[in-house]
Every structure is written in structure tokens, then in C-alpha cells.
Amino acid sequence: MFASPAYAQAAGAAPAGGGGAAMLMQFAPLVFIFVIFYFLLIRPQQKRMKEHRRAIDAVQKNDQIVTAGGLVAKVTKVEEHEVEAEIAPNVRVKVVKGTIAEIRRAGAGKPAND
């Protein structure tokens, strides 16, 4: 009725020691891949988001902005969550700060022929 130790070993029973190291070696590639993704993708994206948020918070009157929809406008008034922008002479619209894609500072990068 009772199985002999030789039979148990032949049937595929694992030895008692060494299971933790084998498990660690199985998860090591997954951990390594996550670390690579963090340093190559996640961290740089977070850095870009912080820089963009700082730029949006620092928007000033007379700056040129580009919205996510592609409109280029001149900032005429800055509020807490919105800016008023002039998209054509005497045509002003309110733009939510979160939709600003790019900020071009006033006087920076003007073409030579203007």
C-alpha cells in the first residue's frame, strides 16, 4: 500500500530543496524587461509631461500658442484654467489650457523677412 521512496522519485516528485532559486530565475527576465521599459519608455514620458505642464502653467500674454486642434493663436488674457487667444484680428476665443500643444514665446524665432 505504501509507495517506496524510489517509486516516488521515479514518478516525478520534486526534491525538497532548491525551489526558491528556480522560481527566482523564472521571474528574473520579466523583472529585467520591466526595468528596461521603465527607463526607456515610462520615465522619459513622465519627464516630457512635467516639462509640458510647467510650460502651460507659465504661459503669458503675447505668447503664441498652438492648440491640439492645430490653431495658432496669440494669447491676450490668461486665467487659471483657460486662456483667451486671438486667432484673427478682433476674433478671440477661450482655450482650455489642457488643449495647448505648444507654446512659442513672444519675440522668439521670428522670420528675418517680417
**86-99 pLDDT, tens digit each:** 999 999 999 999 99
Over the stretch 35-81, which tens digit does the pLDDT of each residue have?
999 999 999 999 999 999 999 999 999 999 999 999 999 999 999 99
Q: How confident is the model at residue 3 (pLDDT cuts 50, 70, 90)?
A: low
> Using an 8 Å Cβ cutoff, are 59 and 75 in contact?
yes
Q: How far apart are the first and last CA of the chain?
A: 99
> What CA–CA distance (Å, rounded) separates 92 from 88?
7
